[in-house]
Amino acid sequence: MQNIRNFCIIAHIDHGKSTIADGLLEFTHTISEREAKEQLLDSLDLERERGITIKSHAIQMNYNADDGNTYILNLIDTPGHVDFSYEVSRSLAACEGALLVVDAAQGVEAQTISNLYMAIDAGLEIIPVINKIDLPSAMIDQVKNQIIDLIGCKEDEIILASAKTRVGIKEILEAIVARVPAPQGNTDAPLQALIFDSIFDSYRGAIAYIRVVNGIINEKDEIKFFASGKKYLAEEIGILRLNRIRTGKLEAGNVGYLIANVKELQDTKVGDTVTHVHNGTEKPLPGYKEIKPMVYSGLYPTNSDDYEDLRDALEKYKLNDSSLTFAPETSAALGFGFRCGFLGMLHMEIVQERLEREFGQSIVTTLPNVEYWVFKKNGEKVIVDNPADMPSQGEIERVEEPYVRAQIVTPSEYIGNLMQLAIEKRGVYINTTYIDPTRADMAFEFPLSEIIFDFYDKLKSISRGYASFDYEFIGYRESDLVKLDILLNGEKVDALSIIVHEKKAYTWGQKVCTKLKELIPRHMFEIAVQAAIGNKVISRTNIKALRKNVLAKCYGGDITRKRKLLEKQKEGKKRMKQVGNVEIPQEAFLAVLQIED
Amino acid sequence: MNKLAIYVHIPFCDHKCIYCDFYSITNYKNEGTYLDCLKKEILHYANLYSDDYKVNSIYFGGGTPSFVSPEYISAILKQIEQSFQISNDVEITLETNPGTVDDKKLGSFLDAGINRMSVGIQSFDKDELNFLTRIHDAETAKECVLKAFDAGFENISVDLIFNLPGQSIEKWLTNLNEAVKLPVRHVSAYSLILEKGAILNKMVLDGKVTLQDEDYDAELYETTIDFLESKGFLQYEVSNFAQPGYESVHNKAYWQYGDYLGFGTSSHSFIKNKRWWNYSSLEFYNRAVNERGHAIAGSEVLTPNMMLEEFVMLALRSDGIDIAALKNRFGKKWLDDNQPILENLKSNGFLNIENGFIRLTKKGYLLCDEILLNFIF
C-alpha cells in the first residue's frame, strides 16, 4: 500500500488535462506513443469533439521512480463540467492527490477554482502544474502568482510543463510519488469500497469502478451494495489498464473494477459503498447522495409514429448513463413523448445530441425548466417539473424555485457587463475577490431557471469568451412565479407553457407570439396568437388568413408533377404538430428555444 | 366507344418569352423531319388505340403552332384523320400568336379543319407586352382576334396574364375589358407563375424583378372572377372562363380525367392507368421515333389511390367532383372518409355540395391547393 498513489487531474476545459494524462501514460509505458495519439481517456466521440470528459474512467500505471522503487499510480479521471459536480466529488474521494492544471495563456478559470475547492475540501494534496508554457502567449509569471494566491503554495512547488512536447512529465510523476500521500487503509478491517464510477457492458452488465478503502475484496466473495441493499457474488475483480486486467482481488488502497452480474447501471450508484455480506462494515463511506435531475425537458419524436423507437433509444441510452431520468408524458401539441430529467444543461445537450447522432432519433424538445415547489392554499405541496402540471393561479399560496451559487471568473474589464447580465437574470450579488489585479472572481446567487437557458452563451458573448462560470445548488427560495400559456385560437399549446418570473412574463409572451406569427404558415382562417397568465391575456397578435394558394396551370403535362407536389406537401403536413385546428411546424418549437430572454 | 383527346406539340418559336417554360426551339431547319416523325408516331399509336377510341379533340400547342404553314398543320391533321376514328363534333384548336398570321393564313387554317383559335394575347398594354418580350403590340393582338373572327372562326379564346410586376387593378381591368369587347367565347386568365426553367425566374432570383405579394394576387384574381362572370364568362376551372357551351372540350378531357394521347416533343399521354411522356429534345425525339416508332422518355403506372388523388385534384380545380362518377370509378370510401372534412369546408363557405357535385366556391377556388391538403386519400 505504501507504493500506491491515487490521484486525479483538475483542469478547466481545454487546459490540457487529456494531453497530460497521455503524457503520463506514455512515459510509464502504459500505452505506446501511437495509442496516445488521441486523447485516450475521452472515449466518447462527442466528448472528444467538444474536448470535455463526461464519463470518468481510471487507469493504472507502474512507475519506476528515481528513488529506485516501483510505484502503482492510479489516475482517476474526473468529469470536467459543472453538471457533474457530484461525480467529480466521488472521484476526488477516491484519491489522495490532485494535479491542478492551469493553461499558461488562459490562467485560472471558474471551473478550476470550483473543482479545486472541492479537492481541498476532500483533503487532497494539490500539485500545481502550469501547462502549455511553450505557447507564445504564455504568461507564466502571472499564472504562477494566480496559483500562489489561490492555494498558498510556494513558487518552486509549481511544475512547468508542456504536455504536447512532453516537457515536465517526469517532474509531475516524481512529484506524485513524493508529494501525494500513500493511501491509509487497513486490509484487516471490514471491507469498504467506494464506487466512483460505473459503465455498462452488454455482456457483463454494470461494471463498477471501485476504490478499496478498507479490507480486501476477492472473487467469489458475497457482497452487498449499501444504497440498493442488493446482494451479489463478486464474479471478476481486477485492475484497469487500457483494458481490464483480472487480478482476482483488490486490497485496501487500490483502484480497480468489479463485475458482479449487476443487471442495471442504476444498481451501481456512484458514491455507494461495497462491503461483504458476512462480517461487512456497519456503516457506509460518507458522501453518498442520490443524484437528482436539476433540469427537465419534454422530448418528443418529430414523427409521432416513432414514439416506440424513441423509448427504445432512451432505454438503451440509460444503460450507460443512469443519471438520465425519463417518464412518458403526453402533450396535446406534440403527442406522445417523454419528460426527461437531466443533471444540467450540458447533460441535456449531450443526451439530445447522442440520441440524434448515435441512435438516429429525430426529436423535438420543449423549453427546459427546473423543478418547482408549489405550496397550495390547502397546505398541499406539489412538485412541478412540467409547466403543464402547475396548479391554477387561485390555488397557489407560494412557489419556490431552486437557487444556485455561481462563481464567475472574468477579466476585470467585463465586470460591468456581467453585473448587468446578473441583474437581467435576477442574480443576487455576493462579492468579488481578485485573483490578480486583472482577474476577478465574482460570486452571485441565481435562480437556477435563469441560468439553464441562454445564460452561458450571453456570458461568453459579453466577455468575448473570457469569462468562465461554475455553479452549485444551494436550496429553494420563494419567488413571484407565474405560469404563462400560449394560445392559438383559444387553444393552449401545452408544449409552449412556461413558468416564469412575473416581471418577465410580458416580454417573453410578446417574443413568443411574434416568433409564432413568423413561423406558423398562414391558414385558411385567421389565427389569434395569445400569451396569457390564467385568464388574463397579456400579449396578442394575429396571423392573417391565407387568401390564395392555387396553381394557375394544370394541363396534361402538369398532372404528374402536381400530384407529386401534393404528396410532398401532405408529408410535410404530417410532420406538423396540431393544436385545435392550427398546424404548427416543428421549427416553431425549436425557434422558441432560441428566443433570447 | 371511349373518348380520346389528342395533343400535338409544335415546338418552333420565333424566340423564347421570359415567362415560358415549355419546350421550344427557335431553329426551323428540322421542321420537315419533325413532320415525318409526327406522322410515324401517330401511326404507331393508332395501331394500339384506334379501335377502342374516338377522337373528340385535337389541340395544337407549342411553341407557336401558328408559326408553321397551314399545309404543315393540315398534313398532321390528315394523318390523324386517316389513322383514328374522329367524332363529328371534334374540337380542333390551334394556339395562335398575334403577329404570326394574316387573313390568308387564317383562312387556310380554317380550311385545314381548325375550328377553335386560342390566341396568346397575354396583355393589351404596351409596357407589359415589352416586359413579357412578346413580339406583338396591342393593336396586332386585337386585329388577330378580329381577323380570325372575320375569317370564319366562331370559337375564339384568348390568354391573359395577371399579377405582372407593378400591375395595378385598373390596368388589369382594362386588359380584361379589352378582351371581352372582342368576339371571344373563352378567356384563360393566368396568374403569373415562376416556372423553374423560365427566364423570368432567374430575373426574380437575381433581384431584377420584384413580384407582388400573394394578397395582391388574390385581389386581382377575385377581380377577374367577378368581372368575367359579370360579362357572361363563367368560371369552369381555376384559370378558365367561358360563355355557356364554349368550355374547351380539350381542357375538360384533362380535368374530367379522360384519356389523351400527346404527339411530338415533350408531350404527355394518359391511357387508363398509365401515363407517359416524350423526350423534350427534338433530336432525341426524332431519333427515337425513327428507331422504335415512339419517343417515350419516361412513364408511370398509377395505383388506384394515385388515380383517385388525381381525379379529385383535377375535378376540384374545374367543374367539381361528379359524385356519381367518383363512386363509379373509385367506390364510396373516399366520400365516407372525408365526409366530416367536406362538411366543415362547406360550412366555412369553401365549397358547395349540390346537384350531385362537390364544387368550390369563389373563395374555394382561391385556396384550391390548400383545400386539397385537407383530404384523406
How confident is the model over A288-301, as pLDDT tens digits? 888 888 899 999 99
Per-residue pLDDT band for A54 (boundaries 50, 70, 90) equals: very low
B11 touches chain A (CB under 8 A): no
d(CA A405, CA A408): 10
Q: Quick one: closest CA in B to A561, which residue?
A: B310
Contact A554 B214 (CB under 8 A): no
> Residue B25 in contact with residue B33, Cβ under 8 Å?
no
Contact B268 A525 (CB under 8 A): no
Return the minimum-mean-pLDDT range out of A337-346, A462-471, B168-177: A462-471
Percentage with pLDDT > 90 across chain A: 60
User: Which residue of B219, B239, B255 is in closest CB contact with A552?
Assistant: B239
Measure Cα distances from A261 to A202, A389, B308 in Å: 11, 39, 59
B271 touches chain A (CB under 8 A): no
What distance separates the 2 farthest-apart alpha carbons in chain B?
Answer: 59
Return the minimum-mean-pLDDT range out of A222-226, A461-465, B328-332: A461-465
User: Which residue of A547, A555, A569 is in closest CB contact with B218?
Assistant: A547
Query: Which residues in chain A have their CB less than 8 angstroms from residue B266's CB?
Result: 557
User: Which residue of A552, A560, A573 is in closest CB contact with B373?
Assistant: A573
Q: Which CATH class is domain B2-255?
A: alpha beta
Query: Which residues in chain B have their CB less than 8 angstroms from residue A569's CB?
Result: 373
The SS3 of residue A389 is helix
Contact B238 A549 (CB under 8 A): no
- Chain A: residues touching B (Cβ < 8 Å): 524-525, 544, 546-557, 559-560, 562-563, 566-567, 569-570, 573
The pLDDT, as a whole number, for residue A292 is 83
Query: Which residues in chain A have their CB less than 8 angstroms from residue B215's CB?
Result: 544, 547-548
d(CA B287, CA B289): 6
Measure Cα distances from A43 to A51, A52, A156, A240 in Å: 11, 10, 35, 15
d(CA B309, CA B323): 14
Contact A551 B369 (CB under 8 A): yes
> Residue A466 in contact with residue A480, Cβ under 8 Å?
no
Percentage with pLDDT > 70 across chain A: 95
Cα torsion angle, A556, A561, A564, A570, sign? negative
Query: Which residues in chain B have their CB less than 8 angstroms from residue A559's CB?
Result: 254, 268, 270, 275, 310, 314
Shortest Cα distance, chain A CAs vs residue B191, angstroms: 6
The pLDDT, as a whole number, for residue A266 is 84
Pick from B100, B98, B105, B104: nearest CA to B129: B98
Per-residue pLDDT band for A37 (boundaries 50, 70, 90) equals: low
The SS3 of residue A209 is strand
**Domain coordinates in residue numbering, chain B:** 2-255, 304-372
Architecture of domain B304-372: Orthogonal Bundle (1.10)
The pLDDT, as a whole number, for residue A193 is 96
d(CA A62, CA A74): 9
List helix spans (H) across B206-303.
214-230, 249-255, 282-292
Pick from B116, B68, B38: nearest CA to B278: B38
Query: Which residues in chain B have their CB less than 8 angstroms from residue A555's CB?
Result: 251, 254
Contact B193 A551 (CB under 8 A): yes
B13 touches chain A (CB under 8 A): no
B191 touches chain A (CB under 8 A): yes
Q: pLDDT of A363-417, one tens digit each?
A: 999 999 999 999 999 999 999 999 989 999 889 999 999 999 998 989 899 999 9
Kindly report the average pLDDT of chain A as a whole number.
89
Q: Report DSSP letters for A101-147, one per residue.
A: EEETTT---HHHHHHHHHHHHTTPEEEEEEE-TTSTT--HHHHHHHH
Chain A interface mutation, best of B20, B188, B259, B268, highest count of A Cβ atoms under 10 Å: B268
Which H/E stretch holds residue A546?
none
Measure Cα distances from B259 to B21, B108, B187 in Å: 24, 30, 24
B369 touches chain A (CB under 8 A): yes
Return the minimum-mean-pLDDT range out of A107-116, A132-141, A299-308, B331-340: A107-116
CA B343 to chain centroid, in Å, comes to 32
Q: At what angle do helices B214-230 and B169-181 cross, to 10 degrees?
A: 30
d(CA A103, CA A130): 6
Can you tell me the mean pLDDT for A357-363?
A: 89
Name which residue leads in pLDDT, B213 or A124. Answer: A124
d(CA A432, CA A415): 9
Please state, as a whole number, how many other Cβ atoms lie within 10 Å of the Cβ of residue A193.
30
The pLDDT, as a whole number, for residue B314 is 96
Shortest Cα distance, chain B CAs vs residue A556, angstroms: 6
B211 touches chain A (CB under 8 A): no
B102 touches chain A (CB under 8 A): no
Pick from A343, A471, A409: nearest CA to A54: A343
Measure Cα distances from A275 to A185, A208, A388 in Å: 14, 13, 44
Measure Cα distances from B23 to A511, B10, B33, B120, B222 in Å: 49, 9, 17, 16, 31
Q: What is the ipTM of this complex?
A: 0.91
The pLDDT, as a whole number, for residue A34 is 62
Per the structure block, which three cell numbers stand in for A47?
466528448
d(CA A376, CA A392): 10
The pLDDT, as a whole number, for residue A42 is 47
> Residue A40 in contact with residue A18, Cβ under 8 Å?
yes
The pLDDT, as a whole number, for residue A242 is 80
Per-residue pLDDT band for A33 (boundaries 50, 70, 90) equals: low
What distance separates the 2 farthest-apart alpha carbons in chain A?
Answer: 93
Query: Which residues in chain A have their CB less than 8 angstroms from residue B310's CB?
Result: 559, 563
Can you tell me the mean pLDDT for A314-342?
A: 90
B306 touches chain A (CB under 8 A): yes
Query: A487 — phi, psi (to 5°)?
Result: -120, 140
Per the structure block, which three cell numbers stand in for A461?
458573448
Q: pLDDT of A520-572, one tens digit each?
A: 999 999 999 999 999 999 999 999 999 999 999 999 989 999 999 999 988 88
The pLDDT, as a whole number, for residue A502 is 94
Burial of B213 (0-12, 13-18, 19+ CB in 10 A): exposed
The pLDDT, as a whole number, for residue A89 is 87
Residues of chain B with pLDDT under 50: none
The pLDDT, as a whole number, for residue A53 is 41
The pLDDT, as a whole number, for residue B279 is 95
Contact A563 B221 (CB under 8 A): no
Query: Which residues in chain B have their CB less than 8 angstroms from residue A556's CB?
Result: 7, 254, 260, 262, 267-270
Contact B262 A555 (CB under 8 A): no
A-to-B residue pairs, Cβ atoms closer than 8 angstroms: 96
Contact B314 A573 (CB under 8 A): no
pLDDT tops 70 at residue A245: yes
The pLDDT, as a whole number, for residue A14 is 78
Reported for A115-120, long-range contacts at CB under 8 A and 24+ positions apart, including other chains, are: A115/A10, A115/A78, A115/A88, A116/A10, A116/A150, A116/A151, A118/A85, A118/A88, A118/A89, A118/A92, A119/A8, A119/A10, A119/A92, A120/A151
> Residue A528 in contact with residue A492, Cβ under 8 Å?
no
Contact A548 B367 (CB under 8 A): yes
Place of cell 441565481: A446
Per-residue pLDDT band for A49 (boundaries 50, 70, 90) equals: very low
Check residue A33 and report its DSSP letter. Answer: T
